[in-house]
Structure 1
Amino acid sequence: MSDIIDLSIPVHPEMLHWGRRPTYEMVEEITETNPSEVSRWLIGAHTGTHVDAPSHFVKGGTTVDALPIERTVGPARVLDLRHVEREITAQDLEAAGAQGATRLLFKTRNSTDALTRNEKSPNWVGLGPTGAKWLADHGVVFAAIDYMTMEAPDHTTLWPTHVILCNAGTVILENANLASAEAGDYYLVCQPIPFEGREASPAPAILLPAR
């Protein structure tokens, strides 16, 4: 069995998506006279497994192409938060062993429930404002969750978790498939597509054994 855990979810027109789903057209197809296939995609910056940069909620904040690679590559810790019903709190983070890690990935029941659906779940698990403040206060530079938003369901009007994390400079990874990742320490490699001047981009990500 491979020691590499792929966190990326497939991109396709019927996928789970906040807002407009991706579409594509075939520009070229293999025929007797044409040797190759070429497709053209229309996708949003927040499609699939993607990174939110601080500029997503901070005017003039760091854009996705300017994120320091040291924030998205390095030692990381997966926390088992599958018992959380709706909102991850500061107390939940401490109880799960978040102390001392600067890159955290939240494995919740989303990985085997909300993330597997093609339509938005009414009851996903997200990070609450107290959890976001804990991350900011403890110098966490990267946080990932297994759903299309880091925000908890009850806060998608003012988006306090995003506001706190973006103002702290914390990189957010959303739609991370953590179903195969056990709680513990790993080495994270996440490489956002450098959309110049933009607030987000698709970001293939993998976990390797801890170094």
Structure 2
Amino acid sequence: MRGSFVVVIAAAAGLAGVAAGQLEQPDAQEPPEATVDLTGDRLVDLSHAFNRRTIYWPTAQQFRLTEVADGETEGGWHYAANNFRAAEHGGTHLDAPIHFARNGDTADEIPLRKLAGPAVNVDVRAKADADRDYLVTVADLEAFEAEHGRIATNTVVLLRTGWARHWPDARRYMGTADRGADAVPNLHFPGLSEQAARWLVEQRRVKAVGIDTASIDRGQSTAFEAHRVLAAAQVPVFENVANLDRLPAEGFHVIALPMKIEGGSGGPLRALAFVGD
């Protein structure tokens, strides 16, 4: 029998809502068996650490940490503090719907329930290894369902291309380590096709989509079709997700809480998975 710390995933999101000043009613379509055992589940960190090697888009400001203080004070105690600066989009981060939809939710407006819930881990490594510009297709998602069952409404869908193994080598991860606008045409990494994005939105009504690459659209995309489809449906996106190799295909839960930037188009993301027996 599970202990007293077993909670419904909605309750976990609700606790975060209290801290953020938001309280949301349970989603009637949330699977009733979607529970998290805080005493027994294995926790998997899905975020890369932010440091000087964190990968950002070639035109985005990179992460910088500047020391303010680190040492003993005149009063005899230790004190450390830093300043940091960075673009919203880089490292493990959120793409809020406003990023590609005029009336989309900003980072602080996304309902917490869209950032927490049961999840699946769709493995497309073999195809991505064969084609660094691979686009995840509807057929890939249907093949996953043929083996693991239908993707339920309000599921967080994670796409495992295997690209996280290249982190933080920007040349291998992005296709180029160059910076600036001239580097953008040289980007190469897998992404989600427009058709598959539309299928996830219209046929499965997923709550969020994550991927272990620098963008939900592949590196060679110039129209950002998957971004636009998901943003128009108010579906948040998690990019540069880490450690998908430590997750099963199904039967786990994700909580992905971004920095609450008012009016933000995204922001740094601390995501974790709860993996039961």
User: Deviations for 1:31-71, whole angstroms, at most 9, x for unmatched residues?
Assistant: 46362110000011113211111100111311110111111
Note if 1:117 corresponds to 2:169: yes
Contact 2:210-2:216 at 8 Å conserved across structures? yes
Note if 1:132 corresponds to 2:202: no
Gaps of 5+ in 1: none
User: Deviations for 1:156-200, whole angstroms, at most 9, x for unmatched residues?
Assistant: x11111001100111100011113223222111111111001110
The one-letter amino acid of 1:190's match is A
Identity among equivalent pairs (%): 25
Cα distance in 1, alignment partners of residues 43 and 227 from structure 2 = 29
Deviation of the 1:124 alpha carbon: 1.6
Cα distance in 1, alignment partners of residues 276 and 102 from structure 2 = 36
Deviation of the 1:210 alpha carbon: 5.0
Gaps of 5+ in 2: 1-39, 129-133, 176-186
- Report the aligned-residue RMSD: 2.0
Cα distance in 2, alignment partners of residues 186 and 27 from structure 1 = 40
Q: Secondary structure at the match of 2:42?
A: coil
The one-letter amino acid of 2:170's match is N
Cα distance in 2, alignment partners of residues 130 and 185 from structure 1 = 26
Note if 1:103 corresponds to 2:144: no
Contact 1:75-1:210 at 8 Å conserved across structures? no
Cα distance in 1, alignment partners of residues 98 and 197 from structure 2 = 17
Hey, what does 1:87 align to over in structure 2? 135
Hey, what does 2:83 align to over in structure 1? 40
Q: TM-score, normalised by structure 2?
A: 0.70
Q: Identify the match of residue 117 of structure 2 among 65, 74, 92.
A: 74
Question: Greater share of helix residues, 1 or 2?
Answer: 2
Hey, what does 1:26 align to over in structure 2? 67
Q: Identify the match of residue 148 of structure 1 among 214, 221, 232.
A: 214
Cα distance in 2, alignment partners of residues 200 and 43 from structure 1 = 12
Task: Using CA pairs under 8 Å that are at least 6 residues apart, name the structure with larger relative contact order, 1 or 2.
Answer: 1
